[in-house]
Amino acid sequence: MDLGLKGKAAIVTGGAKGIGAGICRVLAEEGVNLVVNYRSDPELCEAFARDLAVETGVKTIAVQADVSTEEGCDAVWKAALGAFEIIDILVNNAGGGFRKPFTELSYEDWRRVQDNTLNSQFLMSRRFTDHCVPAKRGGHIINVLSKSAITTNSTHNTSYVSAKGGALALTRGMANELTHLGIIVNGIVPGYVINSKGIFNPETNPYAKKLVEEIIPTKRFGTPREMGDVVAYLCSERASQIIGAIVDCSGGTML
């Protein structure tokens, strides 16, 4: 797309698989150097970062760390600033939850989902502001949200719905406070997106087939690359008037 991002550097949490990998690939093709954060599968993730560097010519590093903890965030930032003097873009993609009836949900269960999905975005974003503000340097934060933050008919998912709802509010709150400092914050809302596990394959999964036929207006699943295209655009000067937006990338499933 040639969005004018060449030479910039980005951190993408949860960046080696699924939506995160699609975001990394598009940014790399735009000339953005990358810190690919991951928590598990080191061989796969390190290979992904190496291959991306070979294919696109950008510099990449893979950093294993749990960004739901302060120690993990510190490790990512230490590695990032060791590799790149300036970080221009932060994509908060890491997160996840699990289904469990609310009546059986323990505080430990609740905290785990909030830490993984909401608190990781807060912790990484605070470190980004600590990096940018003293140097009077702007940047972009993109939070990967979920349609569950806005509307959901899923059951046994209250902890995740709450975490993503909090992340949506965090996105708008940060945008309100940080724009005058030159830090632009937006969020994207993926819908049903093909992932590396192949779960959303209408040819092999009856549930996926039903979604395509009855729920998704576009009649297909989104791709990680399509999510990456939106993220890259939001980080460019072409999107300079898009601030605090929650961009619907759900294929019409929220209509």
Return the active site residues: 160
List beta partners, residue 63.
37
Its sign, for the CA torsion 70, 173, 15, 61, is negative
Of 52, 227, 22, 57, nearest to 145 (Cα)? 227
Of 88, 39, 33, nearest to 61 (Cα)? 33
Can you tell me the distance from the alpha carbon of 46 to that of 255, in angstroms, rounded to the nearest whole number?
39
**SS3 state at 80:** helix
Give the strand order in the sheet containing 60-64. Answer: 60-64, 33-38, 9-12, 89-92, 139-144, 183-190, 246-249
Q: Which two tokens stand for residue 153?
A: 């008919």
- Read off the amino acid at residue 251: G
Of 179, 156, 80, 171, nearest to 118 (Cα)? 171
Cα-flanking dihedrals φ and ψ of residue 98, to 5°?
Answer: -150, 155
In the chain, count of helices (H) and strands (E)?
8, 7
Q: Which two tokens stand for residue 96?
A: 């996840």
